[in-house]
Amino acid sequence: MAGLGGGGTSSGRERRWRGLDRLESRNRPPRSLLVALVLASVTLITLDFHGGTDSPVEPARRALGEAFGPVEAATAAAVRPFTAVPTWFRTKGSLSDEIRDLEAENSDLRSQVASAGFEKNRLEEYDGLTQSAENLGQALVPARVVAYASSQTFSKTVTIDAGSSSGIGPDMTVVNNDGLVGRVLRVTRTTATVLLITDPESIVGGRVGSSMEIGFVHGTDDSPAGDELELRLVDDAVVPAKHDTVVTWGSSGGPYEAGVPVGRVTDVYSSLRETSQRAVIEPFVDFSALDVVGVMVPTGTTSDRAVIEADGALR
Amino acid sequence: MTRARLLVAIVAVAIALVLQVSLFPHVAWHGIVPNLCLLVVVGAALTLDAPSAMLLGFTAGVLLDLVPPADHVAGRWALALTVVAFLAARVRQDVKPTAAAVVATVAAASFVGTSIFALSGLFLGDGGSVPHLLEVIAVAVLWDVLLTPFVLPPLLKVFSSLDPRLATT
């Protein structure tokens, strides 16, 4: 076996030729194993594809989540101080630029608030009417994002560091201080997997703030960053106006709580062929910089961490 | 010895997986991160014997499919990384692979692996549009090639020190 290294001399050539036969038998990947493993993969795909939410793969997912969740949380905690480093190196010019932009945005928002009073009142009235019967109080369980699915997987999900021991369960609404983030798909004891609303498979019942029209907000995968949503209204005759705010519609038993801000209408396209209106929504949440999120749980939920109640109290 | 080698390889895959979901998203371009698990599988295929490498590829794929935040149909990365391990084990030369050969193998493996995953998504009806798909594949290959000089040499060293047949060379 000494000749396997392949010397550069002329005699090495001869040895290498002889060595090659043995190498062939040793190195050639066994086809039978390839077939077996490919079949195993295909079986796994079939099982999971047809199983849906109660697929036999789900317990394995959960077990691995239990094992990897704490490791991911620890890694994210270790990495966090370093991700802030780029923000230290900022020039005065960029800071003053940002101040100018923020001032412009501020005055823009002020004028919007001044004109949107009527719509806001109507929205509040409506919410009050439909939900006066039920308990509006929702508590928030704070959590941090510890892992992100890569774009190579073509799905937009994240892992947060709070799970069933914090009172979180599937289908709960996840928000941050800007608006709707997504919903909980599945939980382990210490972590939860969240489907972001920008995922192509995510559908959120949305309501246009000014007209109270309802529709469905889909994630898209066309834009490279993927941070764009699409709104299709149920009533084809209504055209959503630009800069309209879209909030969640909320249904009893459904995954999303009502009245959570989703985004703002930036463009409206009319498709003659499909005779429907398609509006592009810019989400309020910056999905490339997700960190602290809150999971909406029923008030009074027992949790192993501090819970923010509807009135702002910490429990 | 074989068991120890596989154990070390699986630990390497687990570390790669955690870094891939928790560290690299902070430097990702449009959410596309270097596929460290694929790099470990290629490293194993270039040094370990073919059956071990393929088993490792399958295991790494199953982990990528199941560890949160993954939410796609399980088995797709398992399929992709098994094929990657098979191909990488085939192109291995009888001599210690040169740097260029390693980079070329990684590029090919990354292209094949990401493509198989993306195509299986199209087949199951939860992939993206084709231009978006091609863009993701191109950036993923670029990332993997960029990280090769930092990841593969130490990996190859560790794996070949574990392989008694290659330890002498």
CATH code, B34: 1.10.1760.20
Average pLDDT estimate for B97-126: 87
Average pLDDT estimate for A12-16: 46
> Is B21 close to A150, i.e. CB distance below 8 A?
yes
What average pLDDT does chain A have?
76
> Is A29 close to B68, i.e. CB distance below 8 A?
no
Helix (H), strand (E) at residue A176: strand A173-176
Q: How close does chain A come to B102, measured CA to CA in Å?
A: 17
pLDDT, tens digit (0-9, with 9 covering 90-100), for B38-56: 999 998 888 888 888 899 9
DSSP assignment letter at A308: B
* Domain annotation for chain A: domains and CATH numbers: 93-298 (2.40.10.340)
Distance CA A142, CA A293 (A): 6
Give contacts of B30 with chain A, Cβ < 8 Å: 151, 224-226
Residue of A27, A43, A54, A154 to mutate for B, most B C-beta atoms under 10 A: A154
Statement: residue B168 has pLDDT above 50: no
Q: Give the range of the structural domain holding residue B22, as residue numbers without chain letter.
A: 2-167
- Residue B107 has a pLDDT of 93
pLDDT, tens digit (0-9, with 9 covering 90-100), for B62-111: 999 888 888 888 889 999 999 999 998 887 656 667 888 889 889 999 99
- Residue A211 has a pLDDT of 78
Give residue for tokens 């990401």: B114
Name the residue with higher pLDDT: A24 or A217. A217
> Is B136 close to A154, i.e. CB distance below 8 A?
yes
Q: How close does chain B come to A4, measured CA to CA in Å?
A: 7
Range of lowest pLDDT (A1-5, A244-248, B128-132):
A1-5
pLDDT, tens digit (0-9, with 9 covering 90-100), for A131-175: 433 444 578 888 888 888 887 788 888 999 888 888 888 888 888
* Local confidence band at A222 (pLDDT 50, 70, 90 cut-offs): low
Closest CA to A181 of A204, A162, A213, A152: A204
Give contacts of B46 with chain A, Cβ < 8 Å: none
The most distant pair of C-alpha atoms in chain B lies apart, rounded to whole Å, by 50
Statement: residue A17 has pLDDT above 50: no
Range of lowest pLDDT (A130-134, A164-168, A234-238, B138-142):
A130-134
Secondary structure of chain B in HEC code, one letter for each residue: CHHHHHHHHHHHHHHHHHHHHHCHHHHCECCECCCHHHHHHHHHHHHCCHHHHHHHHHHHHHHHHHCCCCCCCCCHHHHHHHHHHHHHHHHCCCCCCCHHHHHHHHHHHHHHHHHHHHHHHHHHCCCCCHHHHHHHHHHHHHHHHHHHHHHHHHHHHHHHHHCHHHHCC
Terminal-residue alpha carbon distance, chain B: 18
Q: Which of A203-207, B65-69, B140-144 has the highest mean pLDDT?
A: B140-144
Name the residue with higher pLDDT: A306 or A111. A306
Closest CA to B50 of A44, A23, A40: A23
* Interface predicted TM-score (ipTM): 0.81
Q: How close does chain A come to B166, measured CA to CA in Å?
A: 8
Q: Is B65 on the interface with A (CB under 8 A)?
A: yes
Backbone angles phi, psi at A39, to 5 degrees: -65, -40
> Is A6 close to B51, i.e. CB distance below 8 A?
no
* Local confidence band at B61 (pLDDT 50, 70, 90 cut-offs): very high
Name the residue with higher pLDDT: B87 or A119. B87
Q: Is B21 on the interface with A (CB under 8 A)?
A: yes
> Is A79 close to B26, i.e. CB distance below 8 A?
yes
- Residue A270 has a pLDDT of 75
Angle at CA A271, nearest 5°, toward A265 and A276? 70
- Residue A288 has a pLDDT of 79
Statement: residue B33 has pLDDT above 80: yes
Closest alpha carbon within chain A to B62 = A41
Nearest Cβ partner for A29 among B75, B90, B94: B90
Closest alpha carbon within chain A to B137 = A152
Number of domains in chain B: 1
Closest CA to A310 of A136, A139, A133: A139
Give contacts of B69 with chain A, Cβ < 8 Å: 147-149, 157-159, 193-194
- Residue A132 has a pLDDT of 38
- Residue A137 has a pLDDT of 58
Distance CA B37, CA B117 (A): 14
- A66: tokens are 């239990």
Tell the burial category of B120 from Cβ atoms under 10 Å away from its Cβ (0-12, 13-18, 19+): buried
Range of lowest pLDDT (A24-38, A95-109, A122-136):
A122-136
Name the residue with higher pLDDT: B73 or A126. B73
- Residue B82 has a pLDDT of 93
Give DSSP secondary structure letters for A204-226: EEEEETTT--EEEEEE-SSSSS-
- Residue A139 has a pLDDT of 80
